[in-house]
A and B are shown apart, each in its own frame.
Chain A
Amino acid sequence: MNPDSKKWNLRLYVAGQTPKSIVALANLKRICDEHMSGQYRIEVIDLMENPQLARRDQIVAIPTLIRELPSPIKRIIGDLSNTERVLVGLDVAAPG
């Protein structure tokens, strides 16, 4: 594994600074740091500011996490409080 290349490219869709959004982002950061340290990039998209992106990216539930890379695209919804399910969703088998 090359530590320089960002293996994980993640996008988190939120709608304003709601408690669920804040929790989700915190959970995501924690999981990434624990399981894909240094190999991830997180982009947070606030649909309140760019509502048209919801249609483009087929967002229904908030918060939604999309794994752009590695392909295939994966979707995870919810506040990411269930770490195990997030790992399954992101296809992260083992740390590192």
Chain B
Amino acid sequence: MEETQLDQGAPVSIPGIQKALTGIPGFDEITSGGLPAGRPTLVCGGPGCGKTLFAMQFLVAGATRYGEPGVFMSFEESSEELAKNVASLGFDLDDLVARELLAMDTVMVERSEIEETGEYDLEGLFLRLDFAISSVGARRVVLDTIESLFAGFSNQAILRAELRRLFRFLKERGVTVVLTGERGDGQLTRQGLEEYVSDCVVLLDHRVNEQVSTRRLRIVKYRGSSHGTNEYPFIIDRLGLDVLPVTALQLRHSASAERISSGIPGLDAMLGGQGFFRGTSILVSGTAGTGKSTISAYFADAACRRGERCLYFALEESPAQIVRNMRSVGLDLEPWVQRGLLEFQASRPTLFGLEMHLVTIFRAVQELDPQVVVVDPLSNLSAVGSENEVMAALLRLVDFLKSRQVTALFVSLTGNGDAENATELGVSSLMDTWLSLRNLESNGERNRGLYVLKSRGMKHSNQIREFLLTGHGVELVNVAVGAEGILTGSARLSQEARERAESALRREEIETLQRRLDRRRAGLEAQISSLRAELETEEEEVAKRIRQVARQEQDRLTERAAIASARQGENGMLAEDPIAAEERTPAPSKGSPRSTRRQPS
């Protein structure tokens, strides 16, 4: 049988045991289907532990959801009182009675008013029960609390015999019975009701530990069925009884390959350049004042920027305080709150028990359906429970969030001791990514360092980064590594200054060389241009000279023509042609003037 259980993962029930769903969230899971159908179940516990509510929820769920009408036979409270008590949970008993889905009967037995005179039986009770069952065709019956009969009748022998008969009668009718019993000393119930009910016994417990109340539920026995044997925390709130989801045994959630930004580029870079995987759990741990909340706020901001909804559980600071504080690092969360993308849920952990907190978180997540959840800080939860309880609760929370593909960031405050304390170690195995923030103390100052302790399924940086909170955001700076190890703060600054000085020196040298080259180039170019200028001057002079010579030649020709005409030149006509040709040709032609010169000579 154990093997079958392991094989199938989910608890198995032996064929033949029919079960009746209770409709109590979580309970049907631990019992793999509810209470044994057609048999009595004893629900016992101290005063105010929620017995009546358990029974009522079982009946109402049967009537409204599972098509099984019920009978509520009360031995303590009147029908009116009961209806009033459960109205706040949204149970409308009068309506159920009117629709013949529920029959209620209150059995009042006042011993002081009754005189016992000889033999009797409880046939009256049987008849009433039978009548009520028949009137609505009931499949479920609650007897709350039948032990009151022991106070009403003095003949215990008769009473016990009649109780035995009663359970036989109920079994014959095939109804599923819940009977409640007050917890007694050393036994489950004061009157030993457990001896009549051998099928299923559920124990409810309400204890106060260090002023914080927690409720527990345990299945003491369940004949013919496997069941969870642990103590399960449960709560009673506006929706009734709620046993915390028990999904921890099943690691079935799907894994997304999508990456989402942490909101801090430097951090994304450390996480393989892309940030976290969607649907994973992230732990940000660190000592006081290392900037954990700032990282959370950036993460929330990034989610809102993507248009996703973010649920922020503030267990230390009020929302207004967080919004104000984040403005100092250049982050304004207010618009997201106004647009309804960011919702804060703030409460002091010590105000409620751990279970109440978890359920609050569960409910809020179910209602808002966020893509991103921040719990700041997780460590405050451990103030309200023992380490084991907190671990178990966290396990449920992490599984629950993963099953919904919610990316969750948990903040954990650690002591000033060296890094990881016990809780953190325990919690860390549940986490996919663990960012550790720590103070790096040296040179009489404290600086923030951040490193990725682990990040499942991605390449991540092994470097410690210095984490700077500035007025315009968070910056992650590479830490300098010096002879004495890593350098942060002023040590890093001085190291950086030294490095800057060295590089400045090198830069200067380069500049000098550059300048020298420039000067050389300028000198040469000046030389070139002066040579060019010289050449141009020479050319000009040559041209001038040529023009001068040409002009002199012209003058000479003009002069000779004048002389020729003065000599009444018969050969003036002869001479005219070559001269005209010479005039038309530009000056540099050296042959022509000479020939012209020669010709006349």
Contact = CB atoms under 8 A, between A and B. Distances in A.
Interface of A: 13, 15, 18, 20, 23-24, 27, 47-48, 51-52, 54-55, 58-64, 73-82, 85-86, 88-89
B122 A60 contact: yes
B118 A51 contact: no
A82 B117 contact: yes
B116 A51 contact: no
A90 B116 CA distance: 12
A60 B73 CA distance: 12
A13 B127 CA distance: 12
B165 to A, nearest CB: 13
A42 B362 CA distance: 63
Contacts of B121: 20, 61-62
B289 interface: no
Contact of B128 (A54, A64, A73, A89): A54
A76 B115 contact: yes
A19 B109 CA distance: 24
Interface in B84-115: 105, 107-109, 113-115
A85 B153 contact: no
A81 B131 contact: no
Nearest to B105: A55
Contacts of B132: 55
Contacts of A23: 119
B119 A47 contact: no
B404 to A, nearest CB: 48
Q: By CB atoms of chain B within 10 A, which of A18, A24, A51, A88 has the most?
A: A51
B242 to A, nearest CB: 34
23 contacts: A20-B121, A24-B118, A54-B124, A54-B127, A54-B128, A55-B132, A58-B107, A59-B124, A59-B127, A60-B107, A61-B114, A62-B124, A63-B120, A73-B113, A77-B114, A78-B116, A78-B120, A79-B117, A79-B118, A80-B117, A81-B118, A82-B118, A89-B115
A89 B117 contact: yes
Contacts, number: 96
B117 A77 contact: yes
A54 B123 CA distance: 10
B127 A15 contact: yes
A62 B120 contact: yes
Given A79-B120, A80-B118, 5 more contacts: A61-B124, A75-B115, A77-B115, A78-B117, A86-B115
A79 B158 CA distance: 13
Given A80-B117, A88-B115, A55 B153 contact: no
A92 to B, nearest CB: 12
Contacts of B115: 74-77, 85-86, 88-89
B116 A85 contact: yes
A60 B125 contact: yes
Contacts of B123: 15, 18, 47, 61-62
Enumerate the 8 nearest inter-chain pairs by beta-carbon distance, A residue then B residue, closest first: A89-B115, A81-B118, A78-B118, A59-B124, A62-B123, A78-B117, A51-B131, A79-B118
B124 A13 contact: yes
Contacts of A51: 127-128, 130-131
B117 A61 contact: no
Interface string B114-155: 111111111111011011100000000000000001001100
A58 to B, nearest CB: 5
B127 A20 contact: no
A61 B115 CA distance: 11
Contacts of B125: 60-61
Contacts of A59: 124, 127-128
A62 B119 contact: no
Contacts of B119: 20, 23, 78-79, 81
Interface string B491-520: 000000000000000000000000000000
Contacts of B116: 76-78, 85
A52 B107 contact: no
A15 B124 contact: yes
Nearest to A15: B123
A64 to B, nearest CB: 7
A10 to B, nearest CB: 13
B397 to A, nearest CB: 48
Contacts of A48: 127
A86 B116 CA distance: 8
A61 B127 contact: no
Nearest to A75: B114
Nearest to B113: A75
A73 to B, nearest CB: 8
A60 to B, nearest CB: 5
Interface string B539-583: 000000000000000000000000000000000000000000000
A62 B121 CA distance: 5
A88 to B, nearest CB: 7
Contacts of A78: 116-120
A32 B213 CA distance: 59
A28 to B, nearest CB: 10
A18 B123 CA distance: 11
A34 to B, nearest CB: 15
B349 to A, nearest CB: 49
Nearest to B153: A61
Contacts of A58: 107-108
Given A15-B127, A58-B107, A76 B117 contact: yes
Contacts of A74: 113, 115
A60 B124 contact: yes
A23 B117 CA distance: 12
Contacts of A85: 115-117
Contacts of A64: 120, 124
Contact of B127 (A47, A81, A89): A47
A96 to B, nearest CB: 21
A86 B124 contact: no
A20 B121 CA distance: 9
Contacts of A47: 123-124, 127
A54 to B, nearest CB: 5
Nearest to A80: B117
B150 to A, nearest CB: 13
A61 B154 CA distance: 12
Contacts of A27: 118
Contacts of B122: 60-62
Q: By CB atoms of chain A within 10 A, which of B115, B116, B130, B149 has the most?
A: B115
